[in-house]
Amino acid sequence: MVELFGVDFTYFRDVKIINHSDILKQIMQRMRDDLIENGVMYSEIQWKQILESLSKNQIPGFFENLAFYNPKDEVLYMSEKMITDHTEKMIPVCTHELSEKLLSTYLSLPLKTPIRALVEAYIEVKKTNNRRRFYDLLNTYADIIFKNVFKEGCCEAIALQTLRHIGSEMKTASLEKELLVGHSKCIDVLFDLEEAKSNIECMEKSQTRLNEKRQRIRAEDEDKLVGEILGTSQTIKGISYYLGYPLAKAVLEKYGIKGVKLALEKYPPLEAQYFANTEAYLAKLEEIAAFTE
């Protein structure tokens, strides 16, 4: 990658193959650490209940085929099940996670995850009970989801360009075809999120002095809206590679890794139209002086 992108960075400190139960423990620990950093504390009984819920309600096979890079210990964790049953995924998965490492060491500031943004929003609302702040933070949450989709797309674009560079043309072509087909099937979900975001703005601008009955109706509308956003967000999380890849590929090919860095840090794509029409976003980037130096 140093030769390909002109960026020097360290590799994984270690690669660990772990079983299903250990993957659950790792994910739980990362959730726990992230929440503690944001001032949210749960009892051991509550964490046990969360673990049981994760174990019972997971998508079949999800944790069995999981790999993830943990920037805190610089270790790549891979599911034992994937190693034994899906060896064809090994190189693409490792390359994608290596791209995650590249971005984590190359970006000036780490991008907040949607879960962390949600926790911060929740804490802020609990402290202030400020309805306007509630809408502002939900809007921020939606923006971070768009950023996360683009970031995951960038990782996939970097990974495929790396695979192509080392001579894995057939594998790369197959993966790219899968991503593009997935993108065409899934793009509407970003417009759904954008519509929910628009609904937030409409509710925020509505009359603030309401009688008790109207306040109750408004609260019910808020709960419904939050539920819609969270549900859509969970869907987006599972298909973020598909959604972000075409746009990320266009940016990477035109501006290189420096363009990806500036896009992620300074001018992230926060509109669904950019993911549906890459030329619209590239045209916007042309207006930024840093891209035309």
Structure tokens at 288: 């930024």
Per-residue model confidence as pLDDT tens digits over 92-122: 878 888 888 888 788 886 555 555 656 666 6
Q: Which of 42-46, 60-64, 96-100 has the highest mean pLDDT?
A: 96-100
Mean pLDDT of the region 132-160: 85
Residue whose structure tokens are 């990362």: 30
Structure tokens at 2: 């140093």
- For residue 187, what pLDDT is reported? 94
Mean pLDDT of the region 245-272: 92
Residue whose structure tokens are 């210990």: 73
- For residue 209, what pLDDT is reported? 46
Helices then strands, each counted (H, E), the chain: 12, 3
Residue whose structure tokens are 């002109």: 6
Amino acid found at 248: A
Instruction: Give the residue, 211 or 116, on which the prediction is more confident.
Output: 116
Domain residue limits, the chain: 1-106, 123-293
Q: Is the pLDDT of residue 178 over 80?
A: yes
* Among 39-43, 71-75, 275-279, the least confident range: 39-43
Confidence bin at 217 (pLDDT 50/70/90)? very low
Instruction: Give the residue, 290 or 78, on which the prediction is more confident.
Output: 78
The H or E element that residue 136 is part of is helix 131-165
Please give the model's pTM, rounded to 2 decimal places. 0.72
Structure tokens at 210: 């309401």
Region at 128 (left for phi over 0; alpha for psi -120 to 50; beta for the rest):
alpha
In this structure, how many other beta carbons lie within 10 angstroms of the beta carbon of residue 203?
16
Percent of the chain at pLDDT > 70 equals 70
- For residue 143, what pLDDT is reported? 86
Q: Is the pLDDT of residue 211 over 60?
A: no
Confidence bin at 125 (pLDDT 50/70/90)? low
- For residue 276, what pLDDT is reported? 94
Phi, psi of 17 (to 5 degrees): -95, 120
- For residue 131, what pLDDT is reported? 67
Sheet with 14-18: strands ordered across: 14-18, 75-79, 67-70
Q: Which residues are CB-neighbours of 167 under 8 A, at least 6 positions away?
A: none
- For residue 165, what pLDDT is reported? 80
